[in-house]
Every structure is written in C-alpha cells, then in structure tokens.
Amino acid sequence: MPFPDIDPIAISIGPLAIRWYALAYLAGIGFAYFYGRALLKQKPLWHQSTPPMSAAQLSDFVFWAIIGVILGGRLAYVLFYSILVGGDYYLQNPLSIFAVWEGGMSFHGGLIGVALAAIFYARHVKQNALSALDLMGTIAPIGLFLGRIANFINGELFGRVTTMPWGVVFPEGGPEPRHPSQLYEGLLEGLLCFIILRVATHNAMALRKPGLVAGMFAVIYALSRILVEFVREPDAHIGLLPYGLTMGMALSIPVGLIGIALIINAGRRKKGGRAI
C-alpha cells in the first residue's frame, strides 16, 4: 500500500504551522481532562466513594501532569536513548537537554513523570495515591491512540519490512512495504486498552480497589508494546540490545512487572490482607 498523502501540517497560516502531532496531543489532553472530570464526579465508582481529587482540583493537577510528562519524557530520552547507549552529544552539550523543541521524548519517562506527579499531588490534597494512579491509567489510552495516529501521519516509528498485504511504503522507509506498527500500537495500547479499562471501571467496579486499574493499564501497555516491538524497526542509532531485545522491550518489562505488583497488591485487599 502506498503511504497516504497526508500533510503532517494540519493548518498553515502564513509562517504559523500547526501539525497533526500537536493537535493529537491537545485532543488527548482534552479528552483526558473531560473524561477524568466525569469519572471523578461518579463517587460510587471509587474506593470508599472517595475520588483521589475533586473535579475542580483536576484543573490544577493538569499543570503538574504536563510538567511531569515533559521532564520525565525528556530526561529518560537523554539517559536511555543517548547516554546509556554510548552517545556523548548531551554530555558535551548539556544545555541541549532542555531543548525539547528539537525532538526526543521517551514515553516510558513521561509515564514515570506523570505517575510521580499523580502521587505527589494526591499526597498534597491528602487523598489515596493509588487511586490517583488509577485515574491516570484510565484516562491515558485515548491519548496514546491519538499520538500513534499522529506518528503514522508523520511517517515515523514505522515497522520492519513485511510481505503482508497491509504493508505500507513509508517515505523514509525505503521502497519496500513495512508494518504500520504505529497503527498496531494505537489499536492495542490505545483503543483496546481503553475498552478493557472502561469495562473494568464501570462493570467490574475496579476503581474500588486502589491500584488495580493502574496495574491493568501498565500490564496491557507493556504487553502491547513488547508484542509490537517484534515488528517495529529498531532505533537506527541503537539497534538490538543483548538477547535480541529492543530498547522499547527493555523499558516495558519493568513497567509490566510494576503493573503485576499493583494488581497483586489490590487483590490482597479483597482477601483482607494488609495492602500498601
């Protein structure tokens, strides 16, 4: 299949250019905000009918979350995708670490950043930190879905060469068709994850067990990312790590393990055990 003729720039007015990638982020943040407000207003869904923050406080938390995503995403990229794989650019140009407009963000770092922001904010407002993580896990998938669609429009992060009939010839990927791995991730990490968590929160009342939804999100994301990494083109400047792992796999494994720990901890509440 030829790559669809979609201009990465959605709107252009004179020197002002707004890209689909930026619109995807804005749409993801907007959805997360309004869906989060709706969840917080449904008190019976939550542990002891007590949401981790009020709908009004969510507006304040958005600032904390954005800072966490930017700092975590950028610092993790510099560390894992440059310094630890032998790159010395940021060591020689430390001020470039703060040049986020030049590109280079790690989702795993952003995940850590927003998780820490949620924990600290929940402590700040004296609410359950695990429930705050549950909120983050519930509202994140659609943002992931939109972000991966934007990656596809940009023709970046494509997959390996394939003979499948849905292979796409990406402008920067050479003449051979490749897996549209961005779409795979969007469907798995985004849409499917959202549906599963929606059923868990509203049918299985999973938010009543603090940490369960966050754990489910982490496990679903980790499994989805690892699965897609088998057909995704490895980062050119990194290649494969020992044991045939990609950097995405290596960073997703601890995310999945943390998710399993959160699920086990939430299950101990049901059995009457002491949970953290």
Alpha-carbon dihedral 246, 75, 211, 219, rounded to 10 degrees: -10
Rg of the chain on CA atoms, in Å: 20
Residue 159 — pLDDT band, cuts 50, 70, 90?
Answer: very high
pLDDT, average across residues 24-48: 93
Residue 6, pLDDT above cutoff 90: no
Q: How many domains does the chain have?
A: 1
Could you tell me which residues are beta bridge partners of residue 13? 16
Return left, alpha or beta for 9; rule: phi > 0 is left, psi -120 to 50 is alpha, else beta: beta
pLDDT, average across residues 255-261: 97
Tell me the pLDDT tens digit for each residue of 55-97: 899 999 998 998 999 899 999 999 988 888 888 888 888 888 8
- Give CA–CA dist 121/99, Å, rounded: 27
Domain span including residue 72? 21-270
Q: What is the pLDDT of residue 270?
A: 55
Q: What is the pLDDT of residue 108?
A: 92
Judged by average pLDDT, the poorest of 6-20, 156-170, 188-202, 246-260 is 6-20
8 located within any domain:
no
276 located within any domain:
no
Residue 112, pLDDT above cutoff 70: yes
| Helix 107-124 vs helix 247-270: crossing angle, to nearest 10 | 30
105 located within any domain:
yes
1 located within any domain:
no
- Give CA–CA dist 12/9, Å, rounded: 7
Tell me the pLDDT tens digit for each residue of 175-225: 999 999 999 999 999 999 999 999 999 999 999 999 999 999 999 999 999
**CA 50, 40, 108, 126 torsion: positive or negative?**
negative
Percent of the chain with pLDDT strictly greater than 90 = 68
Residue 1 — pLDDT band, cuts 50, 70, 90?
Answer: confident
Structure tokens at 257: 């393990």
- Amino acid identity of residue 164, one-letter, is M
Exposed (0-12), middle (13-18) or buried (19+): which is 91, by Cβ within 10 Å?
exposed
- Give CA–CA dist 188/190, Å, rounded: 6
Percent of the chain with pLDDT strictly greater than 70 = 96
14 located within any domain:
no
Tell me the pLDDT tens digit for each residue of 134-150: 999 999 999 999 999 99
Those residues whose C-beta lies under 8 Å from the C-beta of residue 230, and which sit 6 or more positions away, are none
9 located within any domain:
no
Residue 50, pLDDT above cutoff 80: yes
Judged by average pLDDT, the poorest of 60-74, 98-112, 228-242 is 98-112
Instruction: Tell me what the pLDDT averaged over the chain comes to.
Output: 91
52 located within any domain:
yes
179 located within any domain:
yes
Q: What is the pLDDT of residue 273?
A: 42
Return contacts of 81-86, CB within 8 angstroms, 24+ apart: 81/106, 81/235, 81/237, 81/238, 81/247, 85/237, 85/238, 85/247
Q: What is the pLDDT of residue 95?
A: 87
Annotated binding-site members: 148
Residue 272, pLDDT above cutoff 80: no
